[in-house]
Structure 1
């Protein structure tokens, strides 16, 4: 979450890479029995509070990311990296489109990066995020139940 806030402040572009959704998606795919909808809701509500958005805005998005991850977790593990990048592009694009759609209901104007640019940047960063979190998971011995 701090990485999302930091990169937003440094780049000046709001949400160029959706770090929270990428990390949540990795943990849902890697450990589906441990990480589920409760983590998604808590993460979403925390991002709502940190970003001062209406309560439930990011919680809905993170819940949809978690549901998609749980639906495809077994198939996703068997895919090669290019197929994974394509699915992450689709997931990040849908999440960003929902984010923009929900933000359109708010009364204040928000600076919006193009959703496809956000999806593309998130998809291109996916292999690095996956390798870092995989190393962390294996180093600490986090496995299924």
Structure 2
């Protein structure tokens, strides 16, 4: 049981690290939402273990790592994962490509929520560059899905 929880938390920590790895300025605009994608997989696969509470804790960790106002990412992740967790039985039946579109919608909601909160707090303005991670998250979803599903089956995580 402990080993299985360590694998779930390990994948979330890897996603957090991938979220803050320094990239060149030209590539940083296209950075996918690694944390959202990993949380989305685990909340669809194991909704009783990975839920809104895990998303909130992970969001607080992401706020600390990125250096934003405490609660911005946790609110965005919590809202996105709540919507996903409320519909996980339906979303499981979709193909991976249809799920990628749903991940894109959830990613756009996540960015919209974080933008709104940052706009209220710091008066930033919307730029189209904020939406590139949505496309990147949709593109990486099939590979992340395949990798995490293979890991889940290999370690018999249920």
Task: Name the CA shift for 1:83/1:102 in 2 (closer, same or farther; >3 Å).
Answer: same
TM-score if structure 1 supplies the norm length?
0.88
Task: Name the CA shift for 1:5/1:108 in 2 (closer, same or farther; >3 Å).
Answer: farther
Supply the RMSD in Å over aligned alpha carbons. 2.0
- 8 A Cα contact 1:14 1:112, kept in partner: no
Instruction: Quote how far apart the aligned CAs of 1:140 are.
Output: 1.2
Corresponding residue number in structure 2 for 1:55: 70
TM-score if structure 2 supplies the norm length?
0.81
In structure 2, list runs of 5 or more residues that go unmatched. 1-15
Structure-2 separation of matches of 1:62 and 1:130: 18
- 8 A Cα contact 2:29 2:129, kept in partner: no
Task: Name the CA shift for 1:104/1:14 in 2 (closer, same or farther; >3 Å).
Answer: farther
Instruction: Quote how far apart the aligned CAs of 1:88 are.
Output: 0.9
Corresponding residue number in structure 2 for 1:17: 32
- How many matched pairs? 141
Does residue 1:95 correspond to 2:110, yes or no? Answer: yes
1:64 to 52, 75, 79: 79
- 8 A Cα contact 1:32 1:70, kept in partner: yes
Structure-2 separation of matches of 1:61 and 1:15: 19
Instruction: Quote how far apart the aligned CAs of 1:42 are.
Output: 0.7
Structure-1 separation of matches of 2:18 and 2:152: 19
Instruction: Quote how far apart the aligned CAs of 1:111 are.
Output: 9.9
Does residue 1:141 correspond to 2:156, yes or no? Answer: yes
Residues 37-91 of structure 1: CA distance to partner in whole angstroms, max 9, x if unpaired?
2211110110011111111111101111220111111111111122111111111
In structure 1, list runs of 5 or more residues that go unmatched. none
